Chains A and B, each alone.
Chain A
Amino acid sequence: MLRFVVRRLLQLIPILLGLSVLLFAWLRALPGGPAQAALGERATPEAIARYNELFGLDQPLYVQYLRFLGRAVQLDFGNSARTGRPVTQEFLERMPGTIELTLFAMVFAIGVGIPLGYLAARRHGSWLDSASVIGSLLGVAIPVFFLAYLLRLLFAVELGWLPGSGRQEVRIDATRITNFYVLDGLLTREWDAAWDAFTHLVLPGIALGTIPLAIIVRITRASVLDVVNEDYVRTANAKGLSTSTVRRRHVIRNALLPVATTIGLQTGLLLSGAVLTESVFAFGGVGSAIFDAIFARDFAVLQGFILILAVVYVLVNLLVDISYGLLDPRVRVR
C-alpha cells in the first residue's frame, strides 16, 4: 500500500516538470514577454529593460527556468502583479471557496444522481427511465456557462430567491478562521453568516454539479442494469433473502463500484477550478482568480495556480485509487 502511494507520488515529478516547462515557455512566447504584459503596450523600452533586469529576465532562459524551479519547490511562486501579495497566500485564500463549491456540487450530483439512476434502472423502459436518459444527455450537452447564466438570471435576478454573486453578503461582517465561509460561520456560531454563505453556494453549485449529475445518473443506471443480471444476484435470490437485503448487499454495493470512480474523477475536475461558473457568479474561488489573472495578465498567479492545481488533481486521483481498493476487495493492493 505504502509502496503504491510512494510510486504514484514519484510519478507526479515528471508530470510537474513537463507542466512547468510548458508554462514557462508559454509566458516567454508572449509578444513583448512578461515585461510588456505587465507594464502594458505603451511602456517605454527603458521601463521594459529595467523591469527585465529587476526580475532577472535578462538572464539566459535556462538560468531563469532553474531559478523559477528552485523557488517553486519552496512553494514560492512570486508575487501577484495585481495585488503584490505572494501567489501562495492568494491561493490559500481562494482554494477554500472552490473546495466548498465542489463539495456542494458533488453532494448535489451524488444525492440526486445515484437514486435517480437506480430508480431508472429498476423501472427499465418506463417514462422515468426515458426521462432520465434524455435528461442526462441534455445535462452533458448544455454548456456550463450558459446554464450558470440562466440559473442566475432566473433565480437570482428575476425571482430573487437566491443570491447570484459572491461568496457572502458584503454587509455581513463574518470572522474568518479557515476561509471556508460556511465552516467559519459554524465555528464562530455566527449562524446567519454560515447560512448566507451556504445560500451563495446553491446556484453555482447546481450549475457546476449538472455535468457530474448527468454522468452519475447514466453510469448508475447502466451499472445497476448490469449487476441485476449477474449470477450472484440470482444466487442471493435463490437463498430466499429479502428483496431489501438483495438490493442493498448484492445489487447496490457492486453497482456503485464504477460510480465511485466517476465521482472521484469528477471531484478532481471540479476542484481544479470551475473558471466559467465561478466567473458568472463572481464567486471568489480559484476559478474566478484564474479568470481575473488572465485579463490582468497576472502571470505569476497563473503560473502558480495552474501548477498547484495540477498537484491537487493528481492527489485527488490517488485518493480515488486508494478508496477503490477499499470498496472492491479484488483490486486491494497487496
Chain B
Amino acid sequence: MIVEDVPPDSVDRSGLPVLEVDELTVTFRRRGEQPTRAVDGVSFAVAPGETVGLVGESGCGKSVTSLAVMGLLARRGVEVGGSVRLDGRELVGAPDRTLRELRGADMAMVFQDPLSSLNPTVPIGTQVTEVLLEHRDLSRKEATAQATDLLDRVGIPDPARRLKEYPHQLSGGMRQRALIAMALACRPRLLIADEPTTALDVTIQAQILELLRELVVDSGTALVMITHDLGVVAGLCDRVHVMYSGRIIESADRHELFARPRQPYTGGLLASVPRLDGARGAPLHPIRGSARDVIPWAEGCAFAPRCDHAQDDCLTEVAGSTVPLEYDGPGRELRCRHPIEYPRSPSGATAAGAAR
C-alpha cells in the first residue's frame, strides 16, 4: 500500500474513519477482589470532521473508554481487550513508546477539571510549549511564538502575558481554553473531550463548546465528546452513543435520538432534563434508582431493574442471555426487548423528520 504524504494543514475529506473502536473491553483486576468489567464490548467509529457523543451517567464506562483509547489506563491491574485503531493503526497492545509518540501529536484529550488538570507549579507557557517541543522539531523561540498564537486562537486575551502566568492566576474558562490549546497544539487527527464543560459556569460552557465546534469544523479533526449533558449533545454531536453499565445501549444520529428515543433509558434521560418552557412547578422526571457497580448484563438487561417498560423476559435466570445490540432502522442500533414505540405516520415521514 502506498501512503501518500499528506501535508498537515490539508483537511482530510476521505471519509475513512479516524478512530475505529471494536469490541473494546476494559477489566480492572485487584488482588483479592473480583475483577470488574468497566467497559464491555463497545464499538464505534469517528470520521474526520465528525463529532461523536458518548453519553451516560457517572460510572457507565464512558471515561474509561476514552482513557483506554488514549492508552492512559494504568498498565498494572487493568486488562484492555478488543481493538482501537487510529488511522488504521492498532493501539491496543502497542508499546508505550509508540503511544507516547501518538498522544499529543495525532490524538489529544481535554479533561474535565481544568484546575486539577494543569500543573500548579509550571507556567502555562511551558505547559503549552512542552507538547510542541516533544513532537515537533522546533526551537524554544519558535515554540513560544506558536504557543502565543495558539492561546490567541482559543480566545485568551493578551496571550504573551498569560504564557508567563501560573494556572491559579487564570479564570476557570481561561484554564479550559489553555488546556484546549495544549490539546490542539500539534493539530491532532482525533480529539477526545471528557466532560470539558462540567466544571465551568453556564455562560462559559457555551463559549467553550462553540470554540470546540469551530476548531473541529476548521481543521477536520474527529471529535469524541464524552458527556452526561444532553444539552452538549444537542449542540455539538453528529452521532450519539448512549452507554449504560459499560455497554452501548442505543446509537443514533442526533436528530433521530432526540426525536424518537427508543431505549427507555434514553427516553428517561431526555425526560429528566428540566425544561424552561414547562409549567412552573411541573414535576421533574428522574430515572429511578442508580446504576449498580457490578455489571449485571449476564442476566438479560442491566437497566431492567430501573426501567418502567421492563417485562418478565427482560431479566432471566439464565447466565449469558444478554440482550444484544441490534439493527433498529437505518443508522440506528438498539439494545432493548421492549423499546418505546412510535405510531407510523402514513406518509412515512417520521417524527424525527418533523424535528429537523
Contacts and interface: CB of A to CB of B under 8 A. Distances in A.
Contacts of B118: 232, 235
Interface string B92-120: 00001001111111001101010011111
A245 B130 CA distance: 9
A239 B183 CA distance: 7
Interface string B253-273: 000000000000000000000
A11 B244 CA distance: 60
Interface string A82-108: 000000000000000000000000000
B104 A232 contact: no
Interface string A308-334: 000000000000000000011110000
A249 B122 contact: yes
Contacts of A330: 120-121, 166, 168
A254 B105 contact: no
A240 interface: yes
User: How big is chain A's contact interface, by range?
Assistant: 20 to 34
A241 interface: yes
Nearest to A237: B72
Given A250-B119, A330-B120, A234 B111 contact: yes
Nearest to A241: B134
B120 A238 contact: no
A243 B134 CA distance: 11
B70 interface: yes
Contact of A232 (B102, B117, B168, B183): B117
B119 A236 contact: yes
Given A238-B72, A239-B134, A232 B120 contact: yes
Contact of B100 (A241, A249, A257, A328): A241
Contacts of A245: 130, 134
Nearest to A232: B119
B109 to A, nearest CB: 5
Contacts of A328: 120-121
Given A249-B130, A327-B121, 20 more contacts: A231-B111, A231-B116, A232-B116, A232-B118, A234-B72, A234-B117, A235-B117, A235-B119, A235-B182, A237-B72, A237-B103, A238-B183, A239-B103, A250-B119, A254-B120, A328-B120, A328-B121, A329-B168, A330-B120, A330-B121
A327 B120 CA distance: 11
A230 interface: yes
A242 interface: yes
22 contacts: A235-B111, A235-B119, A237-B72, A237-B100, A238-B111, A238-B183, A239-B104, A240-B103, A240-B104, A240-B131, A240-B135, A241-B130, A242-B100, A243-B96, A245-B134, A253-B121, A254-B119, A254-B120, A257-B121, A328-B121, A329-B168, A330-B121
B197 to A, nearest CB: 16
B121 A240 contact: no
B102 A240 contact: yes
B179 interface: yes
A153 to B, nearest CB: 44
A242 B121 contact: no
Contact of B131 (A239, A243, A257): A239
Contacts of A243: 96, 100
Contacts, number: 83
Interface of A: 230-232, 234-243, 245, 249-250, 253-254, 257, 327-330
B242 to A, nearest CB: 25
B121 A254 contact: yes
Question: Max chain B CB contacts within 10 Å: which of A232, A250, A330?
Answer: A232
A230 B109 CA distance: 16
Nearest to B31: A125
Contacts of A239: 103-104, 108, 130-131, 134, 182
Given A239-B104, A240-B100, A240-B104, A231 B117 contact: yes
A206 B104 CA distance: 46
B353 to A, nearest CB: 40
B6 to A, nearest CB: 20
Contact of B166 (A235, A241, A249, A329): A329
Nearest to B182: A239
Nearest to A235: B117
Nearest to B165: A329
Contacts of A241: 100, 104, 130-131, 134
Contact of A235 (B105, B134, B179): B179
Interface string B166-198: 101000000000010011000000000000000
A240 B168 contact: no
Contacts of A235: 111, 117-119, 179, 182
Contacts of A257: 121
B113 A231 contact: yes
Nearest to B112: A231
Interface in B285-323: none
Contacts of A249: 119, 122, 126, 130
Contacts of A238: 70, 72, 103-104, 108-109, 111, 183
- Chain A to chain B: the 7 pairs with minimum beta-carbon distance, closest first: A240-B104, A240-B103, A239-B104, A231-B116, A232-B119, A329-B166, A231-B117
A235 B166 CA distance: 16
Nearest to B109: A238
B235 to A, nearest CB: 25
A253 B119 CA distance: 10
Given A230-B116, A239-B182, A242-B134, A329 B121 contact: yes
Contacts of B100: 237, 240-243
A243 B100 CA distance: 9
A237 to B, nearest CB: 6
Contacts of A231: 111, 113, 116-117
A319 to B, nearest CB: 20
Nearest to B131: A239
A59 B118 CA distance: 67
Contacts of A329: 120-121, 166, 168
